[in-house]
Amino acid sequence: MPDASDFAAIWLTLKLATLVTLLLLLFGTPLAWWLARTRSRAKRVVGALVALPLVLPPTVIGFYLLLAMGPNGPLGRLTGALGLGTLAFTFTGLVIASVFYSLPFVVQPLQNAFEAIGERPLEVAATLRAGPWDTFWSVVVPLARPGFVTGAILGFAHTIGEFGVVLMIGGNIPDRTRVVSTQIYDHVEAMEYAQAHWLAGGMLVFSFVVLLTLYTLYPQTMRGTQR
């Protein structure tokens, strides 16, 4: 049976994934919008940067974020100057790292959804007296809803499944940075296979249900997630 430390890890994981998903929707939406609509040459560069976490080993991302957050890194100096100390091995640091790590899983579905809308509905809205904000809320968001749902689900699920970045940035500290994936690792290391099964099996079922739900709701997303 799972014990208190397992439940603490589950709770922390859900908290982390929820926070990261919300942050990604907040920052990922304007980024995806820009990527979908810009004609700037910077588009390819930014697009490639956003997609990096898809191909890099999480330890690479974790390593550089750790350096950046350390006392001599740019982020570390900023937080130090603000009197916040360093972010490495804190929950906040974990949130920031996870935002980078799950970025493409939210930005890419959103970008695809925005591109699919095309120019015309926006022009129609403008000729019907809707300003840009108004158009965004009354036309873009409803038409891009599949993109928002897909992005949110994938971002959430991917954050729950991360391991390498957490280990590098979080350091596996109980109640602060110990999430389900690292907890499973600890159980296995300690030969506690029964407890590892509870969590690992739970993750397996959870992930399957999430993807099944997504593909049932929006069958067209199957292509987009088979990378």
Provide the binding-site residues for other proteins, judged by CB under 8 A: 120-121, 123-131, 134, 138-139, 142-143
CA dihedral 138, 104, 46, 27 (to 10 degrees): 50
Question: Closest distance between other proteins and the C-beta of residue 131, in Å?
Answer: 5
Report CA-CA distances (Å) from 201 to 43, 142, 192: 41, 36, 14
Question: Closest distance between other proteins and the C-beta of residue 144, in Å?
Answer: 10
C-beta closer to other proteins: residue 74 or 121? 121
How far is residue 3's CA from residue 195's CA, in Å, rounded to a whole number? 8
How many other CB atoms are there within 10 angstroms of residue 166's CB atom? 26
C-beta closer to other proteins: residue 104 or 147? 147
Contacts by 145-149, CB closer than 8 A, 24 or more apart: 145/113, 146/109, 146/113, 146/217, 146/218, 146/220, 146/221, 147/32, 147/109, 147/110, 147/111, 147/112, 147/113, 147/114, 147/116, 148/25, 148/110, 148/113, 149/214, 149/217, 149/218
C-beta closer to other proteins: residue 134 or 175? 134
Question: Closest distance between other proteins and the C-beta of residue 140, in Å?
Answer: 11
Question: Closest distance between other proteins and the C-beta of residue 129, in Å?
Answer: 4
Question: Closest distance between other proteins and the C-beta of residue 87, in Å?
Answer: 41
